[in-house]
Amino acid sequence: MIRPKPAPLRLDPLSYESLRQQILRRDAWRCQSCGTMSNLEVHHREFRSHSGEDSEENLITLCAACHAKLHHR
């Protein structure tokens, strides 16, 4: 029997902000692509639109420029 895939974990805004801060600390406040420490954003490795979860394993710190490059290949 085929079971439906569970819904992705989506956090409420306050919990997401707490997780976002945790990711920035984990990644030492540096873009994990180029190493800069400015204009940082948290990126979903598996996009939310592709059932990516709001979880530590699915998030990475990127600067705005590297983040934009990933989304506009």
Structure tokens at 1: 């029997």
Q: Is the pLDDT of residue 63 over 80?
A: yes
Provide the 3-class DSSP secondary structure of residue 16.
helix
Residue 6 lies in a domain: no
pTM score = 0.82
Q: Is the pLDDT of residue 7 over 70?
A: no
Q: Which domain holds residue 31?
A: 13-71
Residue 3 lies in a domain: no
Structural domain count of the chain:
1
Residue 45 lies in a domain: yes
User: pLDDT for 31-42, tens place per residue?
Assistant: 999 999 999 999
Q: Is the pLDDT of residue 21 over 90?
A: yes
pLDDT higher at 73 or 28: 28
The DSSP element (H or E) to which 15 belongs, if any, is: helix 13-26
Residue 21 lies in a domain: yes
The confidence score (pLDDT) of residue 4 equals 62
